[in-house]
Chains A and B, each alone.
Chain A
Amino acid sequence: MENVQEQSVKAVDQPRKKSKWNQILKEKWLYLMVLPGLIYFILFKYVPMWGIVIAFQDYSPFLGVWNSEWVGFEHFQYFFSNPDFFRLLRNTFILALYDLVFFFPAPIILSLMLNEIRLSFYKRTLQTLVYVPHFMSWVIIASVSYVFLTTGGGVVNELLSGLIGKEVNFLSSPDWFRPMIIGQIMWKETGWGTVIFLAALASVDQEQYEAAIVDGAGRFRRLWHVTLPALRSTIVILLILRLGNFLDTGFQQIYLMSNSLNRSVADVFDTYVYFVGITEGAFSYSTAVGLFKSIVGIVLIVGADRLAKKVGESGLF
Chain B
Amino acid sequence: MKAKWFRYVILAFLVVGILLVAGCSDDSETAGNDSGGDSDGESSGEKMNLRVFVPTFSTEPPTDDSPVLKKIEEYTNKDITMEWVPNSNLEDKFNITLSSGDLPHVMYVPSKSPSFISAVEDGAFWEIGPYLEDYPNLSQANDIILNNSSINGKVYGMYRARDLGRNGVIIRKDWLENLGLEEPKTIDEFYNMLKAFTEEDPDGNGQDDTYGMVVSKYEGPWDVMQTWFGVPNKWGEDENGELYPAFMDDNYMEALNFFKKLYDEGLVNEDFAVMDPAQWSEPVVAGEAGVQVNVLDEGHRIQEKIVDANPDNADPITVIKSVETEAGLNNLPTSGYSGMLAVSKTSVKSEEELKQVLDFLDKMNDEEAQILAENGIEGQHYEIVDGKYESKITDDAALKAEVDGFNQMLMYLPEPKSLKAESTPLRELEETLKVENEDIVVANPAESYISEVYSKKGQQLDNIIIDARIKYIVGQIDEAGLEEAVERWKSSGGTEYMEEINQLHQDAQ
Give A residues with C-beta under 8 Å from B: 29, 32-33, 35-36, 39-40, 43, 60-64, 83-84, 146, 150-152, 169, 171-172, 174, 259-261, 263-264, 275-276, 278-283
Partner of B17, one of A36, A64, A279: A36
Q: Which of B141-192 contact A (CB under 8 A)?
A: none
- Quick check: A32 and B122 within 8 Å, CB to CB? no
Determine how close the nearest CB of chain B comes to the CB of A46; give it in whole angstroms: 14
CA distance A169 to B273 in the complex (A): 11
Known: A61-B99, A150-B271. A280 touches B18 (CB 8 A): no
Closest to B219 in A: A260
- Quick check: B459 and A279 within 8 Å, CB to CB? yes
For B1-39 the 0/1 string (1 means CB < 8 A from A) is 000000100110010011001000100000000000000
Please name 29 pairs of A and B residues whose Cβ atoms are closer than 8 Å in the assembled complex, sorted by A: A33-B10, A33-B14, A36-B17, A40-B21, A43-B21, A60-B118, A61-B122, A62-B119, A62-B122, A63-B122, A64-B101, A83-B488, A150-B271, A152-B270, A174-B476, A259-B217, A260-B217, A261-B274, A261-B470, A261-B474, A263-B467, A276-B459, A278-B96, A279-B91, A279-B115, A280-B115, A280-B456, A281-B114, A282-B118
CB within 8 Å: A-B pair count: 111
- Quick check: A172 and B474 within 8 Å, CB to CB? yes
Partner of B273, one of A43, A259, A264, A282: A259
- Quick check: B467 and A172 within 8 Å, CB to CB? no
Give B residues with C-beta under 8 Å from A: 7, 10-11, 14, 17-18, 21, 25, 91-92, 95-96, 98-101, 113-116, 118-119, 122-124, 217, 269-271, 273-274, 276, 345-346, 455-460, 463, 466-467, 470-471, 474, 476, 488, 491-492
Collect the chain B residues with CB atoms within 8 Å of residue A63's CB.
122
Closest to B91 in A: A279
Determine how close the nearest CB of chain A comes to the CB of B477; give it in whole angstroms: 10
Collect the chain A residues with CB atoms within 8 Å of residue B269's CB.
152
Known: A61-B122, A62-B122, A275-B460. A152 touches B467 (CB 8 A): no
- Quick check: B95 and A279 within 8 Å, CB to CB? yes
Collect the chain B residues with CB atoms within 8 Å of residue A281's CB.
95, 98-99, 114-116, 118-119
Known: A29-B7, A62-B119. A172 touches B25 (CB 8 A): no
Partner of A36, one of B14, B95, B274, B346: B14
Collect the chain B residues with CB atoms within 8 Å of residue A83's CB.
488, 491-492
Closest to B217 in A: A259
Determine how close the nearest CB of chain A comes to the CB of B421; give it in whole angstroms: 35
Collect the chain B residues with CB atoms within 8 Å of residue A43's CB.
21, 25
Collect the chain A residues with CB atoms within 8 Å of residue B467's CB.
260-261, 263-264
- Quick check: A283 and B99 within 8 Å, CB to CB? yes
Collect the chain A residues with CB atoms within 8 Å of residue B14's CB.
32-33, 35-36
CA distance A16 to B227 in the complex (A): 84
Determine how close the nearest CB of chain B comes to the CB of A26; give it in whole angstroms: 14
Closest to B25 in A: A43
CA distance A29 to B15 in the complex (A): 12
CA distance A111 to B113 in the complex (A): 50
- Quick check: B457 and A280 within 8 Å, CB to CB? yes
